[in-house]
Amino acid sequence: MNVDGKHYTTIWVDETDDKIIQIIDQTRLPHSFEIVNLTTVNEAAAAIKEMWIRGAGLIGATAGYGMYLAALEAPENEFDDFLQLAAREFIDTRPTAKNLEWAVKRQLKAILSVQGTSEKITTAFTTAKSIAVEDAEFCRRIGEHGIHLISEISKRKKGAPVNILTHCNAGWLAFVDYGSATSPIYAAYNAGIPVHVWVDETRPRNQGASLTAWELGKHGVPHDIIVDNAGGHLMQHGMVDIAFVGADRVTTGGDAANKIGTYLKALAAVDNGVPFYVAFPSSTIDWEIKDGIKEIPIEERSEDEVRFMSGKTPEGPQTVLICPEESRARNWGFDVTPSRLITGLITERGICRASEEGLRSLYSEGYSEGTST
């Protein structure tokens, strides 16, 4: 999407040197827009591990390009071994990220299936590009499907802005372009439908206040940041017309694991008759499990993400302690929204009910490693 009028994706090949991959360093957002070059396996692995980039789709795309960098780096006489080691290094950066392993394995299979170093490098390059292009394309289609939900409301409201609530960052910064939850919003905005977004700040890491607000603002989409506590009140007073969130994992039953706090917003949406949609590319679906609350393991993260808060001061970046020195915190990263609270799921193939029947209506063949469209 746009940054001050110029189109960007979150990862791309340098225009003048196709041995350089470029990314936006998201740890510097929203206060500074910095582009980083990745030229080695170690740099690409650090980009994932240190969260210069994050988000399911973008992690996968970065690992894809990382495997291309591995092919460039690999010594000719131990090419395949080097690639295998690089694959392991990438997979170990964020062990729970589903897309990461998928992208690395797809690359490995493609590269090892051809002969000759230069052919392998070419294959690695085209495969990395395909992974990234597919990611953006899948997100674009989510927008194509989701825009109708917004335009219907817009008609009902006779052109008054459609108020949309979102949680965390399921925006273009989490993918290669468009985003999942934000894709219908960008599509509507670009089509001239008046929208206004309530951006949950999304404690503890504040991806809403720092990333979603930044990307919406840079693209020009009207928005206001609210605390995570506020969504229920807004819904009670008719100030939310529809909610779109992303997902980190969706079960065959339609339960959705997403950033902690999503479940609370879904409860409020149901209580107030607000449509609540979960948007994601089909690589997010875990066809092996059905009951999200029982079966999706929820990562517990460092207590210091809760106890400290980072931001900007006139003198530069700063981190502050926000609780007593002696108090401890607990920090679960995700929660699971049961399918019964979800109005519908939006994938690259369309919109369906949050149920096994719904998902099977879009994926009658079951999911097959991102090659299905």
Instruction: Give 38's DSSP letter.
Output: E
**Quick check: 198 and 165 in contact, CB under 8 A?**
yes
- By C-beta, is 181 or 225 nearer to its own copies? 225
**Quick check: 142 and 279 in contact, CB under 8 A?**
yes
Q: Which stretch binds its own copies (CB under 8 A): 16-24, 59-67, 170-178, 219-227?
A: 219-227
**Quick check: 269 and 167 in contact, CB under 8 A?**
no
Measure Cα distances from 16 to 5, 8, 19, 36, 177 in Å.
22, 16, 9, 15, 22
Write the binding mask 270 to 309 for its own copies: x where contact by CB under 8 A, - elsewhere.
-x---------------------x----x-------xxxx
Residue 223 beta carbon to its own copies: minimum distance, rounded to whole angstroms: 7
201 lies in the site for its own copies, by CB under 8 A:
yes
Q: Which stretch binds its own copies (CB under 8 A): 45-53, 102-110, 185-193, 260-268?
A: 260-268
223 lies in the site for its own copies, by CB under 8 A:
yes
Among 114, 289, 329, 362, binds its own copies (CB under 8 A): 329
Rounded-to-integer distance, Cα 199 and Cα 340, Å: 24
Residue 89 beta carbon to its own copies: minimum distance, rounded to whole angstroms: 29
51 lies in the site for its own copies, by CB under 8 A:
no
- By C-beta, is 329 or 362 nearer to its own copies? 329
- By C-beta, is 191 or 321 nearer to its own copies? 321
Residue with tokens 């939006």: 346
Provide the token pair at 267.
């409860």
Q: Which stretch binds its own copies (CB under 8 A): 15-23, 69-77, 201-209, 346-354?
A: 201-209
Query: Residue 216: is it exposed, middle or buried by C-beta count within 10 angstroms (0-12/13-18/19+)?
Result: buried
Provide the token pair at 216.
């919406």
Q: How many residues bind its own copies (CB under 8 A)?
A: 64
User: Catalytic amino acids?
Assistant: 248
- By C-beta, is 150 or 306 nearer to its own copies? 306
246 lies in the site for its own copies, by CB under 8 A:
no
Query: Residue 51: is it exposed, middle or buried by C-beta count within 10 angstroms (0-12/13-18/19+)?
Result: middle
Angle at 96 between CA 345 and CA 284, to 5 degrees: 20
Measure Cα distances from 130 to 61, 134, 184 in Å.
9, 6, 23
Residue 105 beta carbon to its own copies: minimum distance, rounded to whole angstroms: 28
Among 268, 285, 351, 359, binds its own copies (CB under 8 A): 268
Residue ranges in 5-44 that form contacts with its own copies under rule CB under 8 A: 30-31
Instruction: Give 161's DSSP letter.
Output: P
- Of 241, 238, 231, give the one whose Cα is nearest residue 264: 231
Question: Which residues, other chains included, contact 89 with Cβ-Cβ below 8 Å and sequence gap of 6+?
Answer: 41, 45
Rounded-to-integer distance, Cα 86 and Cα 233, Å: 49
Among 78, 96, 321, 368, binds its own copies (CB under 8 A): 321
224 lies in the site for its own copies, by CB under 8 A:
yes
- By C-beta, is 41 or 342 nearer to its own copies? 342
Rounded-to-integer distance, Cα 145 and Cα 223, Å: 22
Residue ranges in 161-200 that form contacts with its own copies under rule CB under 8 A: 199
335 lies in the site for its own copies, by CB under 8 A:
yes
Provide the token pair at 148.
């109708």
Rounded-to-integer distance, Cα 189 and Cα 157, Å: 16
- By C-beta, is 67 or 181 nearer to its own copies? 181
267 lies in the site for its own copies, by CB under 8 A:
yes
Rounded-to-integer distance, Cα 348 and Cα 143, Å: 8
Residue 63 beta carbon to its own copies: minimum distance, rounded to whole angstroms: 26
- By C-beta, is 220 or 350 nearer to its own copies? 220
Binding site for its own copies (CB under 8 A): 30-31, 199, 201-204, 206, 209-210, 213-214, 217, 223-234, 236-237, 259-261, 263-265, 267-268, 271, 293, 298, 306-313, 318-332, 334-336
